[in-house]
Structure 1
Amino acid sequence: MLRVWRFLGIFFILGILLPIAPQIQLTGDYFPTRTTQVTGLLPSPLEQEFSLKTKAFGLIEKAQFDDDGGRAEGVALANGLTFVANYDQGLEIINSTDPSNPVKLSSKRTQGNALDVYVKGNFAYVSQGSSGVAIIDIQDPQNPRTIFNLDPGGMVREVDMYSNLLYIITDFNGFFLYDVSNPYDPKSISSWTDGMLHRGISVLKKHICLSTWGLGLKILDLTFPEKPDLIGVWNDSINYARGVYATTINEQKFAFLASSTKGVQIINITMPQAPVLVATIFNGWGEMLDITVKDGIAYCANADFGLLLANVSDPSNPVILDSYDTNGKTRDVAVENGLTVIAERYQGIKYFDTTNPADIHFLWQFFDHGQASNLILDGTTLYVADSRGGLEIFDVSELAFPKKIGFFREEGVYVQNFILKDDLAIVTAFDNGLYFINISDKTHPTKIASYNSGLFLRTVAEKGDLLFIAGLNNTIEVLNISNLSAISKVSDYLFPVTYPDIYSLTVLGSTLLVGSSYESLTLLNISDITHITQIDFLDFDNPVFSIKIVENYIFAAAGNAGLQIVNNSNNNLQVIGSQETSGYALDVALNDSLAFIADRTGGITVIDISNLSHLQNIGGNTAHNCYSIVLGKQTVFSGAWTEGLIIYSFDSDGDSISDEDESLYGTNPYDPDTDGDQMPDNFEINYHLNPLNATDAFEDPDEDGLTNVEEYAQEFFYGEPTDPFNPDTDGDFMPDGYEVANNLNPLLANGDADTDLDHLTNLEEYLIGTNPRKKDTDGDGAEDGLEVAFHTDPLNPKDYPAKRQLIRVLLALGLTLLLAITAIIFVIKYFRNRVQRNIEREEKVLEAEEEILLF
């Protein structure tokens, strides 16, 4: 009987629960496959016609030449290449297979100032101070790529490697260990710090040697990389340790400690718990900054005496071999196959043949500061005044690949400006006076004469055999240079102030235009060269740095006053137009109706001068701070000071395609949309559409519901267009057209987002067909996610969970009633049958008893 009641109870409960139990789990199999076609849609709120915006005149960077070795802090050699940590210039890569003619391949700016570099395999690890370590892919040395910026914290000074482990030392934050078996994803392993100032690191298998300022040498044990353990210290109390190099010699371990005060100290660390000083070398030779040891030879970088070599094959008895005084502050040294290269702060890098360590041979110096202050273009030859880098000569016949073919430089000479006269470059060299350089052989320019009267020269102009020179001082000197072996002073003109800072001299017939900080623009009469007089002047409250003249008009680059245009009719200076730039105007060049301004802080500004009384800024390029400018055919050459030479191509219509390239494509260089289909030429070219066929604007090659022009229009809303040949530009499994129609970002993978907070992701809404920006697509009062969970139709307002729930409850009640009735009938029948059987049994018993009695 008890089993019957249990069965009836379970049956009753299941009868109530099963019809109303929701299935909440959503699976991909549940969602129907749905293809959305969206036509004629632009991103809301722009569902109307749009117009193509033009950027006006643009400049496209074509090439850069910057072989700045001016502040080389660290250097490494690998596979015929030199890698230079060049402070604010980042990493530079130089082909040194021919060390007598090194060729710069590329440079890569780093987030912070590059202090040191370590190369292993296809990657360079650049220490960049407070910005950590830049990991740079150098597989293609002409196109290095930063793949990761690793910031452990603190001021990173140096790194070393062993196997796939990267060891990093910081100033005061100690030591950090990373696994870089995948350089794209470095993994932190451990760190150690003692709060001291550390300057160098060297790895010798499981032992790490640290040079510690004021505390000598510290040795860490990394038997267990996760737990660095300080096991040894060596200190002579006055050791200001800089660099350190650990190596094995004659089966014993040694650490070579470069010291600011004690030369190189050689320490036996075979027993790291008890390091022992075995010898000192180069004590008293000044400040030792770094050291490396190869094949028993120690190569030392010395701030005072340059490159020092010693035989340390017997570490207890080192022998000095040779030295080479470079007259620079040597910072680092690297060695490979008899080639030694040193990095010198402010002196670039220098190559030496050390095949015979006892006889160092200087090979070549790679030094150019990139401080381009003046340019002159002569055909396909470009001449650059490069401050401490001297006068440089480039072949620019291939604009994308400028080649440095020659240079003239003297130590301590700062080239300010120059002019070309026949086969001469006449160079102003500030306190070194005037240099006359023979450039008939452009590959080997040579100085043939000089003149120095004590003036600090900045600028020079010529008229026949007469030279006008001036600079910081208040004097303009006139020289006769008909005989360079006997240069004579003809006359001079004195300003009434001590330092007028004269920046520009320009001869115009019988007059001389002077740009200065004193009167801005001064007009002098030089018809009688022995008696120079002032005619007129204009003061812009700013210096005039550069002057260009067209007929009676003077175009002046005037610092904060920008471009000033002056009418010089009848030697009467009158300003007729001006246009400020975004920064500080230093130079000006003219091309038809355009003026190009080199701006010290604003790059290059292009000004429309077709109407001199109404100048208009129409574009340019702000990527580099420019100090000088000269124009070629559809080309701009600019000196970008510390960034070297920058070459730009004209982009007259501002569509990001150079005029030169437009001629190749057959497009109009003065119309950003040649075929008038409201898609700019560069978009059509980049995405392989036809910029000469307007009908392709309304095609939809990827069938994502957006026409080509609609794909382009996304740039107005999201900063970039969608790809007309990829139906899902952002790869989130929702077509671009669907995302645009529903105001989702087609350039951001947002399929997993729940934009309307209805518990369905955008991708689920796309697959189901609901609106990702509306919680209740069918407006039946139930959120879409709830309807999916309860298996109601989120697109049918007559089908919602509450209604279906009521039906389920009624069905459950009916079923329950039916079960109850069935159970009651069953019980009645059961008891009735039971009673009947009992009655029949009783009757049989009575009958049996009667028979017995009768018998």
Structure 2
Amino acid sequence: MITTLTLVLTAVVSLAPDSSACRMIGRWPFGAGEMPRDLVNDTLAYVNAGGGLIILNVKDPGNIAEVGELQTPGLPLFFSVHDTVLCVGEDEAGVALYSISDLSRPWFLGRCRIPGRSFGTAFDGRYAYVACSDGGVRVVDFVDPGSPGEVAMLPVPSGAVCVELRGGLLYVSARTGGVRVADVSDPLNPCEIGAYELNGSYAQSFRVRDSLLYVAFAESGLVVLSVADPTNPARLSSSFGAGWWMDGLAISGDFAYATIANPPQIKVVDVSDPAHPYLVSTYRPPRNMAFYGIAAKASLLYTVLERSDPKGGFRVIDVSDPASPALAGSFSLPLNTEVVVTVDTFAFAGVKGGGVEVYSIADPSNIYLLGETGDTSRIGRLFVEWPYVYAAIYNSNFFQVIDVSDPRNPVIIGLIDSLGYGHDVAVRSGLAYVSVGEYLRIIDVSAPAQPTQVAKLKLPNSAFGLDLSGNYCYVADWYGGIQVVDVSDPTNPVIAASCPTPYAAAVDLVVRGDYVYYSDVQGFGILDVSDPRKPNPVAYESLPLPAVSWGIDAMSTMVFVALGDDGLGVYDATDPAHPMLTGYYNTPRWAYHVSVRDNIAYVADLAGFCIIQYYGQGVEEGGISSKMPSDLRVLGTVAADILLLDLGPAHAQCQVAILDVSGRARCTRNFTAAEVGQGRVTLDVSRLPAGVYFAEVRGQSQRRPVKFLLAR
């Protein structure tokens, strides 16, 4: 059997700045969406769906169909198309090109990381003009898509959001800096030639049509400018400013369509006379749901409605009669993932307002949806005890039992028919412990289809995360700190002890051995509960703002913390009084919840979920000791399950150990000076499963770890 192996010297590898000792091995990227500024043509719409784009055929608005999808490492808010190349601003991941010659299988061409967050893009076939949150507009040369590079920068005040390219002119919205016009006839030397500002009002969006520039100013409404002389944009009209917050804009024919944030609505404006626009009609969404983005083609509008609501999604609105806009079609989009738990090869995800979804994670590189409950529940937390999933529900019946014996057809078989804010659930010995509002409720689930409450206990504040250990249930009680509840008699739970948390609100916790690890929004802490009635604080790790500590889980003494916008943090609490950050991964969106199994973290990231492997435990990757002989190099190949290490001209005996990601030696072999003197040594790796390992060369009291990936 031929096995492939890749060796990476820790001395020369520099981890990406958004990760350390962690790598993403799988991802389901889709979540709440937003309508980008434009359609590709009358047939295709590319819709931002959290961590990727969903490509829709919208030729028949009454029968919209998905034709392709594209995963992106960041949030794809804006894009531009040139021939069969898609240019995407990917938020913190930079700007990337994808081939869309085959819509069903878009493929990656190249990416350039640039400072700040990448928003709007304009692509001319070679140069990408990228609006950045800081530093203005970056010009990236994609002459070689596989090796792009930044070649110029156009500074603009307040940071850039949107860009449009018209001939040799680039139009830029610059937040409170209004709109700017730049000459980019020489892409290597962009030069601002004109600008229009409006008393510090925020330029949210704009459109260029011929010699007219339509701008949506958040507080000041719709402004129409003449750019016949681009060096001197001149205002022709201003309207609909007082009391509105205008955030999106589309133009088609003689009409402008502006989305208003509060209250949510679309204004249909006749701009046939740019100097005297007037309101024709207002389109209001059902249930006061908000609009996220807008585009227009001919007499149709395209938008995303209330991305966190299952009754929202992609919408097509017919404005052939501008005085009476009407819904023409819709398409359901993914919802935000707020919790994910796993068992065997399945992941169970709670989506905001969409119930529970079941995914296959047998191959982390090819995750796919198996089934869903299809209800409108907002899931707090999930607990799996095969073949049932127990759900704490936040917005309806506070507790559900779901039969997942057929993962393709999960069925709700039991519930407690009472409103409440269910936050977390744990199950043991036929009893479910559920945090609901200000109560801990204990439910008999010995008959899963007929759950029955057997007791409830009022807590001092508001119950969130919980866990069980021995005769006690530990509850994160928001401003009430950590509550230790004696459940030795499940029909009569009593508070045995309380422990305040140092700063904000206790939101999640997990018990491992004699310790409780908890998160309280501003950080995480460790309690010694060897005597549950006398919990003793032993450590607290405060996080610098704007980082937050939301979800938490632990494996042995390794603590995994969901850090919101900062992703996943991994801490070694072997010494519980001094937890140390040993790894992190900046997830694409907002890390909300984490569960851990076998050094693998499953992170609910709002835009789907990520599977992240932590490989740093027990292995020092800090580089080569200065005492290590400089002529000792380690190179390796493998064939027929034999690892061949080329040590170079070293002349001392040594030991080679193969370590797994936990730092445990899986195999070792001692080599004599004569064997090492030949410069090559071999090890049998036939019994090792696929995974990440470290070949540690130990000699002269020094240890040199070399990371490698064994793929079978």
On whether the aligned pair clears a TM of 0.5, the verdict is yes
Q: Is 2:211 the partner of 1:259?
A: no
Residue 325 of structure 1 is matched in structure 2 by 285
Residue 595 of structure 2 is matched in structure 1 by 629
Shift of 1:291: 2.5
Query: Which amino acid in 2 is paired with 1:418?
Result: L
Aligned pair count? 592
Contact 2:221 2:238 in 1 (8 A): yes
The correspondence of residues 72-87 of structure 1 with structure 2, limited to 5 A, is 82=46, 84=48
The correspondence of residues 277-292 of structure 1 with structure 2, limited to 5 A, is 286-292=244-250
Shift of 1:434: 0.3
Q: 1:177 to 1:465 in 2, by over 3 A?
A: closer
Shift of 1:289: 2.0
Query: Which amino acid in 2 is paired with 1:428?
Result: A
1:545 to 495, 503, 509: 509
Q: 1:655 to 1:579 in 2, by over 3 A?
A: same
Q: 1:232 to 1:414 in 2, by over 3 A?
A: closer
Contact 1:159 1:167 in 2 (8 A): yes
Contact 1:407 1:444 in 2 (8 A): yes
Once residues 502 and 229 of structure 1 are traced to their aligned partners in structure 2, the CA distance between those partners, rounded to angstroms, is: 53
Once residues 318 and 94 of structure 2 are traced to their aligned partners in structure 1, the CA distance between those partners, rounded to angstroms, is: 33
Shift of 1:136: 1.9
Q: Is 2:52 the partner of 1:92?
A: yes
Shift of 1:677: 8.2
Residue 204 of structure 1 is matched in structure 2 by 166
Q: 1:328 to 1:138 in 2, by over 3 A?
A: farther
Once residues 697 and 455 of structure 2 are traced to their aligned partners in structure 1, the CA distance between those partners, rounded to angstroms, is: 67
Query: Which amino acid in 2 is paired with 1:351?
Result: F
Query: Which amino acid in 1 is paired with 2:314?
Result: Y
Once residues 337 and 437 of structure 2 are traced to their aligned partners in structure 1, the CA distance between those partners, rounded to angstroms, is: 23
Q: Is 2:105 the partner of 1:147?
A: no
The correspondence of residues 452-471 of structure 1 with structure 2, limited to 5 A, is 452=418, 456-462=421-427, 467-470=432-435
Helix, strand or coil at the partner of 1:400: helix
Structure 1 portions without partners, runs of 5+ = 1-57, 657-662, 669-675, 684-690, 724-855
2:468 to 503, 506, 509: 506
Residue 64 of structure 1 is matched in structure 2 by 27
1:106 to 63, 71, 94: 71
Once residues 350 and 330 of structure 2 are traced to their aligned partners in structure 1, the CA distance between those partners, rounded to angstroms, is: 25
Q: 1:516 to 1:340 in 2, by over 3 A?
A: closer
Shift of 1:286: 3.5
CA deviations 1:187-239 (Å, max 9, x no partner) are 338x587x69976543332455556778977766777886857479698x898
Q: 1:172 to 1:393 in 2, by over 3 A?
A: closer
Query: Which amino acid in 1 is paired with 2:152?
Result: S
1:138 to 82, 85, 98: 98
Q: Which has the larger radius of gyration?
A: 1
Once residues 664 and 336 of structure 1 are traced to their aligned partners in structure 2, the CA distance between those partners, rounded to angstroms, is: 58
Once residues 681 and 294 of structure 2 are traced to their aligned partners in structure 1, the CA distance between those partners, rounded to angstroms, is: 57
2:331 to 349, 364, 377: 364
Identity of aligned residues (%): 11
The correspondence of residues 30-45 of structure 1 with structure 2, limited to 5 A, is none
Q: 1:575 to 1:280 in 2, by over 3 A?
A: closer
The correspondence of residues 793-812 of structure 1 with structure 2, limited to 5 A, is none
Q: Is 2:391 the partner of 1:427?
A: yes
1:400 to 365, 374, 386: 365
Once residues 542 and 196 of structure 2 are traced to their aligned partners in structure 1, the CA distance between those partners, rounded to angstroms, is: 57
Once residues 106 and 516 of structure 1 are traced to their aligned partners in structure 2, the CA distance between those partners, rounded to angstroms, is: 36
Structure 2 portions without partners, runs of 5+ = 1-20, 59-63, 101-105, 544-548, 622-637, 644-652, 661-667, 683-694
Shift of 1:245: 0.9
Query: Which amino acid in 2 is paired with 1:64?
Result: R
Contact 2:215 2:224 in 1 (8 A): yes
Contact 1:417 1:458 in 2 (8 A): yes
Query: Which amino acid in 1 is paired with 2:611?
Result: I
Q: 1:362 to 1:312 in 2, by over 3 A?
A: farther
Q: 1:526 to 1:273 in 2, by over 3 A?
A: closer
Residue 821 of structure 1 is matched in structure 2 by none
Helix, strand or coil at the partner of 1:149: coil
Helix, strand or coil at the partner of 2:94: strand
Helix, strand or coil at the partner of 2:379: coil
Once residues 451 and 385 of structure 1 are traced to their aligned partners in structure 2, the CA distance between those partners, rounded to angstroms, is: 20
Residue 340 of structure 1 is matched in structure 2 by 302
The correspondence of residues 720-735 of structure 1 with structure 2, limited to 5 A, is none
Helix, strand or coil at the partner of 1:545: strand
Q: TM-score, normalised by structure 1?
A: 0.51
User: Relative to total residues, which structure has the larger helix share, 1 or 2?
Assistant: 1
Contact 2:28 2:367 in 1 (8 A): yes
Residue 375 of structure 1 is matched in structure 2 by 341
Shift of 1:259: 3.4
The correspondence of residues 733-748 of structure 1 with structure 2, limited to 5 A, is none
Contact 1:598 1:638 in 2 (8 A): no
Once residues 619 and 222 of structure 1 are traced to their aligned partners in structure 2, the CA distance between those partners, rounded to angstroms, is: 46
Residue 351 of structure 1 is matched in structure 2 by 314
Q: TM-score, normalised by structure 2?
A: 0.60
Shift of 1:476: 2.6
Once residues 648 and 215 of structure 1 are traced to their aligned partners in structure 2, the CA distance between those partners, rounded to angstroms, is: 43
Q: 1:692 to 1:503 in 2, by over 3 A?
A: same
Helix, strand or coil at the partner of 2:425: strand
The correspondence of residues 644-793 of structure 1 with structure 2, limited to 5 A, is 644-648=609-613, 678=655, 707=680
Contact 1:169 1:198 in 2 (8 A): yes
Q: 1:160 to 1:614 in 2, by over 3 A?
A: closer
Helix, strand or coil at the partner of 1:638: strand
Query: Which amino acid in 2 is paired with 1:65?
Result: W
CA deviations 1:513-555 (Å, max 9, x no partner) are 334467957352554x554456x6696989782247xxxx777
Once residues 537 and 232 of structure 1 are traced to their aligned partners in structure 2, the CA distance between those partners, rounded to angstroms, is: 64
Contact 1:655 1:681 in 2 (8 A): no
1:124 to 81, 87, 103: 87
Q: Is 2:585 the partner of 1:638?
A: no
Once residues 297 and 387 of structure 2 are traced to their aligned partners in structure 1, the CA distance between those partners, rounded to angstroms, is: 42
Once residues 502 and 615 of structure 1 are traced to their aligned partners in structure 2, the CA distance between those partners, rounded to angstroms, is: 25
Contact 1:59 1:620 in 2 (8 A): no
